[in-house]
């Protein structure tokens, strides 16, 4: 072997620089335990696909294979199926985006679109501004392209535009190269916060003034329960107000099925060309089979009603979570009340550490994701993300009761001994696991 490594991984010294930032956190091992059925997992962001009409979907797939099987099982275009791109235009109408099929690139989940946009825009060291906290899967992508990630504080309206403008100026003053602003405006993962109309304009204005690309990630936009300043309509996408400066990412993972891995990017013309070339280099083309399944589903099934079914399911679960938190959590614990999506962000009483507490929580048969996973720099120990999308409401209530017991115990221990045990997470976010979604 030409490159001396170590016994665990003889290739360790041969990896590219960009692979060195790819680390698995120690909490991964705990999540293997957390997937046991007796553990209530408030950790995973898994959509409740059992709410789908699986018989109808099976018929759609059988029909597709019988009538158009030769096309469905063939290679397709790097940009994606044109019929589906046309339908995606209709799916985005409620968030105010008017897009021509040529503006759209279909991807293998929006995760791949995140990868492609970063590949096309970011050289090593380029700065990406993200919310504090931000989506773990996006942080993993930015790290893998060796971007400098700068977290910008959020308030109850989401990403703070004043702090964003300051962060951009400070980065420039340090000689860094700002490249893009990554934001999840609606039903944020993990913060459970939504930007209102004014806030969206303010953020767009900062991006425009600084000539920075705005990357708008919106997988949850159609899954709202409460009015967040847009009346009965879903939150209006930022892209709806600037088609030249914003790349918008959408996904069928939460509105249809995450297992089909179909998402998309809507981009200005030149960017779209680059994304298609980058996509061809990565995967040749997205799966025709998956795209045509989604396309037939949209054409033949009542998908708008199905989204209402999903939304109602998640609303009930959100209510179960918030009610149980209110009832059981000790004083000093606070949390966000999401108006849609899958997540609430909980702040522990001062002095408690969600990463250190996780083994104890899993012993008490409840799991969550510690806040550190949603920052690149090891901050976030006082926070945790709670997902209510997957467990039934009574399980959520039981999970919160268990978690409150653990927090209570931890408070007692801290009062008696100070913080005594720590589980060190490898610095920064790991590459995403199903539990960290």
- Measured in degrees and rounded to the nearest 5, phi and psi for residue 151 equal -80, 135
Q: Which stretch binds ligand PMP (CB under 6 A): 77-85, 105-113, 305-313, 392-400?
A: 105-113
- The C-alpha atoms of residue 143 and residue 431 are separated, in whole angstroms, by 9
Would you call the peptide bond into 435 cis, given omega within 30 degrees of 0 as the criterion? Answer: no
Q: Is 313 in the site for ligand PMP (CB under 6 A)?
A: no
Residue number closest to ligand PMP, CB atom = 109
Number of residues that bind ligand PMP (CB under 6 A): 15
- The C-alpha atoms of residue 383 and residue 344 are separated, in whole angstroms, by 10
Q: Is 110 in the site for ligand PMP (CB under 6 A)?
A: yes
- The C-alpha atoms of residue 195 and residue 193 are separated, in whole angstroms, by 7
Site string for ligand PMP, 268-307 (x = CB under 6 A): ----------------------------------------
Q: How distant, in Å, are the alpha carbons of 274, 278, 400 from that of 270?
A: 7, 13, 48
Six-digit token pair at 202? 């303010």
| Of positions 45, 140, 161, 185, contacts ligand PMP by CB under 6 A | 45
Q: Is 158 in the site for ligand PMP (CB under 6 A)?
A: no
CB of 389 to ligand PMP, least distance (A): 10
CB of 108 to ligand PMP, least distance (A): 7
Burial degree of 347 (CB within 10 A; 0-12, 13-18, 19+): middle
For CA atoms 252, 254, 258, 260, give the dihedral sign: negative
CB of 283 to ligand PMP, least distance (A): 13
Q: Which helix (H) or strand (E) holds 251?
A: strand 246-251
- Give the residue carrying structure tokens 């696909």: 49
| Of positions 25, 251, 295, 387, contacts ligand PMP by CB under 6 A | 251
Q: Is 224 in the site for ligand PMP (CB under 6 A)?
A: no
Residues 433 and 26: beta-carbon distance below 8 Å: no
Q: Is 258 in the site for ligand PMP (CB under 6 A)?
A: yes
Q: Output 79 or 437, the one with its CB closest to ligand PMP.
A: 437
- The C-alpha atoms of residue 437 and residue 135 are separated, in whole angstroms, by 8
Q: Which stretch binds ligand PMP (CB under 6 A): 167-175, 197-205, 251-259, 359-367?
A: 251-259
Q: Is 189 in the site for ligand PMP (CB under 6 A)?
A: yes
Q: Output 25 or 108, the one with its CB closest to ligand PMP.
A: 108
Burial degree of 238 (CB within 10 A; 0-12, 13-18, 19+): buried
Footprint of ligand PMP (CB under 6 A): 45, 109-111, 135, 137, 184, 189, 217, 219, 251, 253, 258, 263, 437
């Amino acid at each position: 072997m030409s490159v001396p490594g170590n016994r665990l991984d003889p290739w360790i010294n041969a990896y590219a620089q960009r692979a060195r930032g790819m680390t698995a956190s120690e909490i991964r091992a705990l999540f293997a335990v957390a997937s046991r059925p007796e553990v209530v997992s408030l950790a995973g962001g898994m959509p409740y696909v059992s709410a789908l009409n699986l018989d109808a979907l099976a018929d759609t797939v059988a029909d597709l294979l019988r009538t158009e099987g030769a096309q469905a099982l063939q290679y397709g275009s790097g940009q994606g199926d044109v019929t589906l791109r046309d339908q995606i235009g209709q799916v985005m109408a409620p968030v105010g985006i008017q897009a021509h099929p040529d503006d759209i690139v279909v991807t293998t989940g929006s995760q791949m679109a995140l990868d492609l946009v970063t590949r096309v825009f970011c050289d090593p060291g380029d700065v990406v501004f993200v919310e504090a906290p931000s989506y773990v899967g996006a942080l993993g992508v930015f790290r893998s392209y060796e971007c400098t990630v700068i977290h910008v504080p959020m308030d109850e309206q989401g990403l703070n535009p004043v702090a964003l403008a300051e962060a951009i100026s400070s980065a420039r003053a340090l000689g860094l190269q700002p490249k893009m602003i990554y934001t999840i405006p609606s039903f944020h993962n993990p913060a459970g916060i939504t930007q209102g109309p004014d806030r969206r304009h303010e953020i767009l204005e900062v991006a425009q003034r600084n000539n920075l690309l705005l990357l708008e990630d919106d997988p949850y936009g159609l899954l709202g329960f409460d009015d967040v300043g847009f009346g009965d309509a879903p939150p209006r996408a930022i892209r709806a107000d600037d088609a030249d400066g914003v790349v918008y990412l959408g996904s069928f993972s939460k509105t249809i099925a995450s297992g089909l891995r179909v998402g998309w990017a809507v981009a200005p013309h030149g960017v779209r060309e680059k994304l298609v070339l980058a996509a061809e280099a990565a995967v040749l083309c997205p799966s025709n089979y998956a795209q045509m399944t989604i396309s037939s589903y949209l054409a033949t099934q009542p998908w708008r009603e199905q989204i209402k079914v999903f939304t109602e399911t998640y609303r009930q679960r959100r209510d179960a979570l918030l009610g149980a938190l209110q009832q059981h959590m000790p004083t000093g614990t606070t949390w966000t009340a999401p108006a849609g999506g899958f997540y609430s962000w909980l702040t522990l009483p001062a002095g408690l550490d969600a990463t250190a507490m996780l083994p104890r929580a899993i012993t008490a048969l409840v799991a969550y994701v510690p806040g550190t996973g949603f920052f690149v720099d090891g901050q976030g120990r006082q926070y945790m993300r709670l997902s209510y999308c997957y467990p039934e409401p009574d399980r959520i209530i039981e999970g919160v009761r268990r978690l409150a017991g653990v927090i209570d115990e931890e408070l007692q221990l801290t009062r008696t001994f100070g913080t005594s045990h720590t589980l060190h997470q490898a610095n920064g976010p790991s590459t995403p696991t199903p539990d960290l979604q």
